[in-house]
Structure 1
Amino acid sequence: MKVAIFSQFQKKKPLASLEVLLDVLNKKNIEIIIEETFYKGVSPKLNTDYPTFNTLDASYDFLVSIGGDGTILRAITLVRDLNIPIVGVNTGRLGFLATIQYDEIEAAIHAILDKKYAISERSLLTIESSEDNSEINSCNFALNEIAVSRKNTTSMITVETELNGEYLTSYWSDGLIISTPTGSTGYSLSCGGPVITPDAASLVLTPIAPHNLSARPLVIDDSTVITLKVNGREKKHLVSLDSRIATLSNKTTITIKKAPFTIKMIVLNNETFLDTLRKKLLWGEDNRN
Structure 2
Amino acid sequence: MKVAIYGQIQNDLNTHTFHSLVSILKSYDVTVLVEQNFYNLMSADEPFETYKELDSSYSLLISIGGDGTILRAVTLIRNSGIPIVGINTGRLGFLATISLDQFETSIEQLLNGNYQLSKRRLLSVSTSIPNKDIEHTNFALNEITVSRKNTTSMITVETHLNSEYLTSYWADGLILSTPTGSTGYSLSCGGPVITPESKNFVLTPIAPHNLNARPLVINDDTIVKLKVTGREKEYLISLDSRIVTLPNVCVVTVKKAEFYINLVELEDKSFLKTIRKKLLWGEDQRN
TM-score by shorter chain over 0.5: yes
| Rounded Cα–Cα distance in structure 1 between residues aligned with 2:226 and 2:152 | 21
TM-superposed CA distance for 1:51, in Å, is 0.8
Preserved contact between residue 20 and residue 105 of structure 1 (Cα < 8 Å): no
TM-superposed CA distance for 1:105, in Å, is 2.1
Structure 2 residue runs without a partner (length 5+): none
Preserved contact between residue 126 and residue 140 of structure 1 (Cα < 8 Å): yes
**Counterpart for residue 118 of structure 1:** 116
TM-superposed CA distance for 1:287, in Å, is 5.0
TM-superposed CA distance for 1:156, in Å, is 0.5
TM-superposed CA distance for 1:106, in Å, is 1.7
Change (3 A) 1:175 1:118: same
Return the letter of the residue paired with 1:57: D
Return the letter of the residue paired with 2:241: S
Task: Confirm or deny that 1:39 pairs with 2:39.
Answer: yes
Return the letter of the residue paired with 1:231: T
**Counterpart for residue 91 of structure 1:** 89
- 1:72 partner SS: helix
Question: Normalised by the size of structure 1, how large is the TM-score?
Answer: 0.97
After superposition, the C-alpha distances for 1:86-132 in whole angstroms (9 at most, x for unaligned) are 01100011111101011322211211121110000000000001011
Return the letter of the residue paired with 1:36: Q
| Rounded Cα–Cα distance in structure 2 between residues aligned with 1:247 and 1:31 | 40
Structure 1 residue runs without a partner (length 5+): none
Preserved contact between residue 4 and residue 33 of structure 1 (Cα < 8 Å): yes
Return the letter of the residue paired with 1:207: P
Task: Confirm or deny that 1:244 pairs with 2:242.
Answer: yes
Return the letter of the residue paired with 2:122: L
After superposition, the C-alpha distances for 1:12-59 in whole angstroms (9 at most, x for unaligned) are 11112112111100111100000111111112xx44210111111111
TM-superposed CA distance for 1:195, in Å, is 0.4
**Counterpart for residue 4 of structure 1:** 4
**Counterpart for residue 264 of structure 1:** 262
Preserved contact between residue 126 and residue 142 of structure 1 (Cα < 8 Å): yes
Return the letter of the residue paired with 1:186: G
Task: Confirm or deny that 1:127 pairs with 2:125.
Answer: yes
- The 5-angstrom pairing of residues 183-194 of structure 1 reads 183-194=181-192
Return the letter of the residue paired with 2:12: K
| Rounded Cα–Cα distance in structure 1 between residues aligned with 2:127 and 2:35 | 31
| Rounded Cα–Cα distance in structure 2 between residues aligned with 1:268 and 1:74 | 21
